[in-house]
């Protein structure tokens, strides 16, 4: 599974260029994860044992490290686990060629996860692991620029993140990137430019830029930059103001961004809200739950999780709620946590309408681990069900109002051409008397 793809769908109001960034894209088209936990600090062999024990016995993962360490004090472990350890030790000790123990363990972990025949369970190394971790963590190491290439093959800065190192150095959109240090960027691919920046995390970079035909140098030190996964706007309707919030992914900082944006637009006296999760591949389950708790009444069922034959209903435990009409915008790439959000609103909120297209249909939950060497492992641990107990895996969520986008929008993605957004605004204005709310 490639983690480097991008969605062909372009979010309304926020037009994106064909580009590659000096960071990992926060909306990778094949990620489609619900990450119930994202831990770090285990070494490779510990995680190998964790996976075996979890698959064999279903024990709590957090207790598995001590189990592994007991084995290495000579205490008893399961026969299947002992066989694996024996084969590993025999190969390391007796194989006639020199063995790279790391490669051996990598192959064992990858083989176990592949044997599950689950497209969402996998072992990730190198750049794939880095992209995945940055995506779910909601931050990346970089200088805060998005780069593209002009027709002549020159590297052009398409945008600059506000308050980033590049912004503070007064680098501007439209500048050409010529050199990093003494290295010319002529002929390099995007990933090569990105690697140069990321590998210099503790160093100040002297970047040569060209603006209006003149070259100059800016000194910039890479820093941790938060992904912006939430954006908002207010639309003025004949019967009041409609808020609009788009969520591009559920990263570790998405709830905080959502809460801030919601507070800001509610100060503008909105009486309805559109939540846009089109092409949102999912992310942290905790972030979705926290967002839902801003709207649902106490003790409302947000979703259910099923582990083997045990089902647990996850309920709202807060006193915060809202009652204005909410429209959820979805498409065929709205997956995982996006579907949990849409299902929760449909089943447990007082006034919800889903507009757009049937969602992707992913009804499983993954747990991920970041190892101390930078590799990552993730595997499926649960099913999730809607508040009413339905499993949407392979089916998706059908909208209340089916609206498809046209080629005109895909070639010119502006709000006026976005039939799904326009239908939502028309619905709130003409079919919902929000002026009474």
236 is catalytic: no
Given the residues 229, 287, 348, 362, select the one marked as catalytic: 362
Dihedral-angle region of residue 361 (phi above 0 means left; psi in -120 to 50 means alpha; beta otherwise): left
Per-residue three-class SS string for the chain? CCCCCCCCCCCCCCCCCCCEECCCCCCCCCCCCEEEEEEEEECHHHHHHHHHHHHHHCCCHHHHHHHHHHHCCCCCCCHHHHHHHHHHHHHHHHCCCCCCHHHHHHHHHHHHHHHCCCCCCEEECHHHHHHHHHHHHCEEEECCEEEEECCCCCEEEEEECCCCHHHHCCCCCCCEEEEECCEECCCCCHHHHHHHHHCCCCCCEEEEEEECCEEEEEEECCEEEECCCEEEEEEEECCEEEEEEEECCECCCHHHHHHHHHHHHHCCCEEEEEEECCCCCCEEHHHHHHHHCCCCCCCCEEEEEEECCEEEEEECCCCCCCCCCEEEEECCCCCCHHHHHHHHHHHHCCCEEEEECCCCCCCEEEEEEEECCCCEEEEEEEEEECCCCCCCCCCCCCCCEECCCCHHHHHCCCHHHCHHHHHHHHHHHHHCCHHHC
Is 432 catalytic? The answer is: no
Q: What angle do CA 169, 174, 178 make, to 5 degrees?
A: 70
Can you tell me the distance from the alpha carbon of 145 to that of 167, in angstroms, rounded to the nearest whole number? 9
Q: Per the residue annotation, which of 366, 368, 376, 420 is the catalytic one?
A: 366
CA distance 333 to 420: 14
Q: Which of 257, 261, 334, 336 is catalytic?
A: 336
Residue 354 · residue 397 · CB < 8 Å: yes
Known active-site residue 362:
yes
**What are the beta bridge partners of residue 219?**
206
Which residues have a catalytic role annotated? Answer: 336, 362, 366
């Amino acid at each position: 599974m490639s983690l480097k793809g991008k969605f062909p769908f372009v979010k309304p109001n926020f037009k994106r260029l064909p580009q590659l960034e000096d960071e990992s894209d926060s909306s990778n088209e094949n990620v489609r994860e619900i990450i119930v936990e994202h831990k770090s600090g285990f070494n490779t062999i510990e995680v190998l044992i964790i996976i075996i024990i979890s698959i064999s016995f279903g024990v709590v993962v957090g207790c598995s490290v001590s189990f592994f360490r007991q084995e290495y004090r000579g205490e008893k472990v399961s026969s299947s686990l002992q066989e694996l350890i024996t084969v590993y030790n025999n190969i390391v000790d007796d194989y006639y060629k020199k063995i790279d123990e790391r490669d051996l363990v990598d192959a064992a972990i990858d083989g176990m996860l592949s044997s599950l025949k689950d497209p969402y369970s996998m072992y990730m190394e190198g750049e794939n692991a880095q992209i995945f971790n940055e995506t779910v963590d909601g931050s990346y190491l970089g200088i805060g620029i998005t780069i593209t290439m002009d027709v002549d093959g020159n590297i052009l800065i398409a945008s600059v993140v506000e308050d980033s190192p590049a912004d503070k150095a007064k680098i501007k959109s439209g500048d050409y990137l010529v050199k990093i240090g003494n290295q010319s960027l002529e002929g390099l691919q995007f990933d090569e430019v990105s690697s140069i920046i990321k590998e210099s995390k503790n160093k100040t970079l002297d970047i040569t830029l060209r603006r209006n035909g003149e070259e100059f140098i800016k000194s910039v030190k890479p820093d941790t930059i938060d992904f912006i996964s939430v954006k908002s706007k207010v639309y003025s309707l004949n019967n009041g103001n409609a808020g609009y919030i788009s969520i591009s992914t559920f990263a570790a900082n998405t709830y905080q961004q959502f809460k801030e944006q919601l507070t800001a637009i509610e100060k503008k006296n909105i009486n309805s809200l559109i939540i846009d999760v089109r092409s949102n591949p999912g992310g942290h389950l905790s972030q979705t739950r926290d967002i839902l708790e801003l709207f649902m009444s106490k003790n409302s069922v947000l979703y259910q999780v099923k582990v083997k034959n045990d089902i647990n209903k996850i309920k709202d435990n807060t006193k915060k709620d809202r009652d204005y009409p909410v429209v959820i915008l979805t498409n065929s790439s709205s997956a995982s946590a996006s579907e949990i959000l849409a299902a929760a609103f449909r089943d447990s909120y007082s006034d919800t309408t889903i507009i757009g297209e049937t969602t992707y249909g992913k009804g499983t939950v993954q747990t991920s681990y970041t190892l101390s060497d930078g590799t990552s492992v993730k595997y499926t641990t649960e099913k999730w069900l809607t508040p009413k107990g339905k499993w949407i895996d392979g089916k998706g969520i059908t909208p209340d109002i089916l609206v498809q986008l046209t080629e005109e929008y895909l070639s010119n993605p502006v709000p006026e051409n976005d039939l799904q957004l326009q239908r939502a605004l028309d619905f709130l204005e003409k079919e919902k008397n929000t002026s009474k709310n």
